[in-house]
Amino acid sequence: MRRLLLLAALTLSVASAAACSSTDTTPATPAPADAAPPPDPPPTQDAAPVDAGDPACTAEATAIQAGLDAEVARQKVQHATIGIETPRCGVRVFFGRGAGATAAVTEDSLWRIGSVTKTFVSAVILNLAADGKLGLDDAVEGYVPGYPNAPAMTVRQLLDHTSGAYNYTETTAFADALRDAPLTVRTPADLLAFASAQAPTFAPGADWSYSNTNYVMLGLVAEKAGGKPIAELIRSLATSKVGLTHTFLDGAETVTGDLVPGTQSGVDVTRAFHPSVAWAAGAIVSTPKELLAWIHALYGTDRVLSAASKKELFTFVPKGGYGLGVSQIPAGATLGNGAGVGHGGSIFGYQTQAFWFEQTKTGLVAIVADTGGNPNALSLVALKAIEKK
């Protein structure tokens, strides 16, 4: 039986049981609940208008909604969503609501996306490199002086997880800090201190291992090279290129909108941790519609990155199947949609997948608002619904 194989490693996760609230940590939360939502974002680039009279689109929509509702019941979660874009039927967003759910969820509602944040940070770094403000093969020491092995690490190795930097979210000290003071604001230096207290996983360039520490350092690299806070750089070098207005780096800028409640074991963990514990590794909040617009523009056009920068982006490390802030899914595992590129994200109360399939010009976003949720099952629902028999 064919299955969609998405990389579970590509998430911001806490390995210790002491991090008992979720997988990624970013509670201080994104959106002030009483704020008025901003105007609707522009449609996804090149998206065809949905033809309500197209029987194929109607059949797909019916199958996706039914499958989503079934998964919400099977997974016993309160909220989940599937966003999909196809050339024929355009952009569509579906919501699943569990028994007892009380929050009102709309297309403007925000969801934590965890490590999908890395796709935005990567775009910032690649655009800074294209502007001549940094080099991908620059030594990290020039941007994060004093970090172990920084003179031998390169910016490229941070992007593709070959730096050997120990993953701070897997340290006991980090888990203890979350348990003891979950709402304390953590600086990037605090996060790096958790990691630098551990021996490097390997020498720079010697192997591949996913590490959130790499993207904390990339946040600092971007700030030094770009001369602005990372939230401003994400806006100027990434989200503004696509017209995104509902996408924010929580904890680092003002967030406008309501956050879909995220749960763990039936407990609301939406704001259980301060988002600074994830920062550039995983603190972004967004909407399914904006994520669809983002992955289409980033991977399917040259609106965010030049052709030359995209060539760098798609330079994959064989062992990890990971490029410069992007993972890949083999064509044989996507139900006829060809190879997929994108990222997964896991954070307290939320599990996310966001992938683009260039062969069929299809975008797919799946989010479950529960730490134990399975977005891969939602992705399969959508891909099966659009599969050409």
Collapsing DSSP to helix, strand or coil, 259 comes out as strand
Q: Which residue's structure tokens are 């593709």? A: 160
Any idea what DSSP says for residue 168? G
- Digitized pLDDT (tens) for each residue of the chain, 389 residues in all: 222 333 222 233 322 222 222 333 322 222 222 222 233 333 333 333 455 689 999 999 999 999 999 999 999 999 999 999 999 999 999 999 999 899 999 999 999 999 999 999 999 999 999 999 999 999 999 999 999 999 999 999 999 999 999 999 999 999 999 999 999 999 999 999 999 999 999 999 999 999 999 999 999 999 999 999 999 999 999 999 999 999 999 999 999 999 999 999 999 999 999 999 999 999 999 999 999 999 999 999 999 999 999 999 999 999 989 999 999 999 999 999 999 999 999 999 999 999 999 999 999 999 999 999 999 999 999 999 999 75
Q: Give the Cα separation of 83 and 364 in Å (integer).
A: 6
> Is 300 domain-assigned?
yes
Sequence-ordered list of residues with C-beta below 8 angstroms from that of 215, at least 6 positions apart, any chain = 117, 118, 121, 158, 280, 281, 282
pLDDT, residue 100, reads 85
Q: Give the Cα separation of 286 and 31 in Å (integer).
A: 10
Angle made by CA atoms 196, 23, 230, in degrees to the nearest 5: 60
Q: How many domains does the chain have?
A: 1
> Is 48 domain-assigned?
no
Looking at the DSSP bridge assignments, the partners of residue 366 are 82, 353
pLDDT, residue 150, reads 98
> Is 273 domain-assigned?
yes
Q: Which residue's structure tokens are 């997948």? A: 353
> Is 62 domain-assigned?
no
pLDDT, residue 32, reads 25
Measured between alpha carbons, how far is residue 116 from residues 5, 36, 89, 225, 238 in Å?
Answer: 17, 25, 25, 22, 13
> Is 51 domain-assigned?
no
Query: With contact defined as beta carbons under 8 Å apart, do 157 and 138 qualify?
Result: no
What is the pTM (predicted TM-score) of this model? Answer: 0.88
Q: In what order do the strands lie in the sheet with 248-249?
A: 111-112, 284-286, 248-249
> Is 241 domain-assigned?
yes
Say how many C-beta atoms besides its own lie within 10 A of residue 46's C-beta. Answer: 14
Length of the chain: 389
> Is 356 domain-assigned?
no
Which of 354, 92, 109, 127 is closest to 239 using CA atoms? 127
Q: Give the Cα separation of 322 and 311 in Å (integer).
A: 13
Say how many C-beta atoms besides its own lie within 10 A of residue 132's C-beta. Answer: 8
Sequence-ordered list of residues with C-beta below 8 angstroms from that of 271, at least 6 positions apart, any chain = 27, 28, 29, 259
> Is 4 domain-assigned?
no
Q: Give the Cα separation of 148 and 141 in Å (integer).
A: 9
pLDDT, residue 316, reads 98
CATH at residue 258? 3.40.710.10
Collapsing DSSP to helix, strand or coil, 79 comes out as strand
Which of 46, 19, 8, 5 is closest to 349 using CA atoms? 19
Domain that holds residue 290: 104-336+361-374
